Amino acid sequence: MSSSPRHPMKALLPLLMLLALLLGAAPARAASGITCSSASMTALSFGTVNPLASLTTVNATLSYTCSNGDNNNTHSALLCFSIGEPGGAQTNPRLMSGSGANKLQFQLYQDAARTQVWGSQFFGTFLTPLQIPITLTKGASANNKQATLYGQVLGGQTGAIPDSYADVYANGDTALTVNDAQSGTAPTTCGTASTSVYFRFTVSASVAKQCTVSATSNLNLGTVAPTATNVAGNTSISVTCSNTTPYYIGLLPSNNNSAGAGAMSGTGGNSSKVPYQLYQNAGLSTVWGNTATATSAGNGVAGTGTGVAQSIAVYARAASADFQPDTYTDSVVVNVNY
């Protein structure tokens, strides 16, 4: 019996060698270029806000770290940091939430002049995120780079209700895109795909109870004859308290009489005193004194703030004018308790 030839087995070796050579000659995969591994934002805390005063401003800090994964080439990219609004809520203005339906208006800006709103390229009224061009040489990193977020509680919110307010930005409310040009200068447009890097942060403020008071004019009993009796007059004071804030007003003559019974003094060496009484009503039947507290009107007057000025009338009467002719005056302190 003759054996079968085995030459076909020898033909496999060059084929395998050729395959190995082809595999060895395959080109290397390109490096990734600029990517950002982390970003974070500090809390934006406005602290205690006075709703009767002007706007309030504070800052927060954005920190981020990026690197060039290409060990052979320099890359340039445009980083776009977007801030939307939780739940897709309004962005013009933004709103912090308090108890129930209480809201406080604020805004986030990219610049210290607070003219360029920091928005999101994905949704909202303001579609301009913070744009930062970056260039990294081959294999280089930019660690803990920083940018500033400028916040502002908007002015004119006199109707804001005293409360604690907050707005919480979670992962879905912030985003970072990287548009890598791979060479040359950074692009001028943001990337189209969001990375998995977010910068969660919280905005908070506390609206405090506030009151201001001013006297619109003096309470003048006029020029009267010494024979005059029960000389009466009135004026008004202006009280402005934060919305829904209860307040209680006391009046204290210079003699510190808590029942509102004062005495006007003459000029020079005149030692005469003209007694008078302060009242809450035009009928001069309810005295106005100074026993009011932060929780009770006492013998004073109670009110509730609306955020705008409220005019409150004050009445006074001098039982007799039978004193030395002169000009008589006294100072009354208006105490607003809240």
Residue with tokens 């009110």: 303
pLDDT at residue 168 in the model: 98
What tokens were used for 196?
A: 């998995």
Distance (Å, whole) CA 229 – CA 169: 70
Q: Which residue has the tokens 């405090």?
A: 208
pTM here is 0.82
Six-digit token string for 132: 């930062």
C-alpha to C-alpha distance for 259 and 262, rounded to whole angstroms? 9
β partners of residue 103: 97
| Range with lowest mean pLDDT among 21-35, 74-88, 128-142, 260-274 | 21-35
**Residue-wise pLDDT tens digits, 254-291:** 999 999 999 999 999 999 999 999 999 999 999 999 99
CB–CB of 273/264 below 8 Å?
yes
Mean confidence (pLDDT) of the chain: 90
Instruction: Please state which of the ranges 50-64, 111-125, 187-201 shows the lowest mean pLDDT.
Output: 187-201
Number of CB atoms found within 10 A of residue 214's CB: 10
Question: Rounded distance, CA 57 to CA 44, Å?
Answer: 10
pLDDT, mean of residues 148-160:
96
Output the pLDDT for position 125: 85
Percent of residues, the chain, with pLDDT higher than 70: 90
Domains 34-207 and 211-337 in one fold = yes
pLDDT score of 151: 98
* pLDDT tens figures, 37-52: 999 999 999 999 999 9
The predicted pLDDT at position 7 comes to 35
Calculate mean pLDDT across residues 95-99.
98
Q: Give CATH for domain 211-337.
A: 2.60.40.1090
Angstrom distance (rounded) from CA 293 to CA 69: 68
Alpha carbon dihedral 63, 90, 86, 62, in 10-degree steps, equals 0
- Region 179-207: what's the mean pLDDT? 90
Pick from 87, 75, 85: nearest CA to 107: 85
| Domain residue extents for the chain | 34-207, 211-337
Was domain 34-207 assigned CATH 2.60.40? yes
Strand ranges of the sheet holding 34-41, from the earlier edge strand across to the other edge? 34-41, 56-68, 141-153, 103-109, 94-97, 163-169, 201-207, 44-49
Whether residue 142 has pLDDT greater than 60: yes
